[in-house]
Amino acid sequence: MGAELQDRVAVVTGASKGIGLAVATALAAAGARVVAASRTSSAELDALADKHGLVWVPVNLTHAEGVSMLADTVGERVDILVNNVGSAPARPGGFLSVTDAQWQQTIELNLFAAVAVTRALLPRMLDAGRGAIVNIGSVNAVLPDPTVVDYSAAKAALVNFSKALSKEFGARGVRVNSVSPGPVETELWLGGGGVADTVSTAAGLTPEQVLAQAAGATVTGRFSRPQEIADVVLFLAGDRASNIVGSDFTVDGGFVPTW
């Protein structure tokens, strides 16, 4: 397992915490040379850099100069790209409470950042005739929620974007897939100002009650762990998934009903 991705160059956005940190950790442990992009670092990311030689790039990927800085740092070889950066601001007031500026911020972070980074790095994969792109979507792409209406729309667009890329570039050796988590044990849900905190205030519940309701909506009765998402990304990034193209993998403990 440690040599599965030996010496491959992997780029992970939003890598300082949560799913992004777990993905960066899994790729580095599998032998990849990881370039981690995020606005700020974290103690865990710093420790990962010390252990595996990970390179951290402090960038805001909603700005063109941030994308250019990341591309320049990566160099000419890119084998794996994981577009993970994103945020799901809770909108307890529903659609009419969301301003144009908030819509724009959400779309820029959850969709346009992935579009811009992919546009910058994809040509290097095409030149090499191989590569793997994994975009981190959400179950909200197919299960829209008015309390995250703008996030749901952005993630639906991201998953659609992934499928379109897979059709255009799969025959040229670049595999594009997406992973769509349900509720995950990250700050996005659990942190101060996160989904549970914001929704609880509006609904007259405690954050613990909101979390219990969300966990209770899964078959397994719990949130997914970041490492469980990272394990799927690791599989899709490697040669074991060499004929998986244009797929979306749901990891949600049965949160979305299926028939």
Please report the pLDDT score of residue 202 as a whole number. Answer: 67
Give the tens place of pLDDT for each residue, 2-56.
589 999 999 999 999 999 999 999 999 999 999 999 999 999 999 999 999 999 9
Reduce the DSSP state of residue 103 to 3 states and report it: helix
Range 169-180 average pLDDT: 98
Q: For the domain bounded by 9-182+226-247, which CATH number is listed?
A: 3.40.50.720
Please report the pLDDT score of residue 58 as a whole number. Answer: 97
Report residue 173 as tokens.
């050796």
Catalytic-labelled residue, pool 38, 80, 151, 195: 151
Sheet holding 9-13, edge to edge: 55-58, 33-38, 9-13, 80-83, 131-136, 174-181, 248-251
Give the tens place of pLDDT for each residue, 45-78.
999 999 999 999 999 999 999 999 999 999 999 9
Domain boundaries, the chain: 9-182+226-247, 183-223
Instruction: Verify whether residue 257 is a known catalytic residue.
Output: no
Which amino acid appears at position 71 of this protein?
A
Query: What percent of the chain has a predicted confidence (pLDDT) above 70?
Result: 97
Give the tens place of pLDDT for each residue, 79-112.
999 999 999 998 989 999 999 999 999 999 999 9
Does 259 score more than 80 pLDDT?
A: no
Reduce the DSSP state of residue 249 to 3 states and report it: strand
Predicted TM-score (pTM) of the model is: 0.93
* Torsion sign (Cα): 27, 28, 34, 39: positive
Reduce the DSSP state of residue 90 to 3 states and report it: coil
- Helical H runs in the chain? 18-29, 43-52, 64-74, 100-107, 113-128, 149-169, 187-190, 195-203, 207-216, 226-237
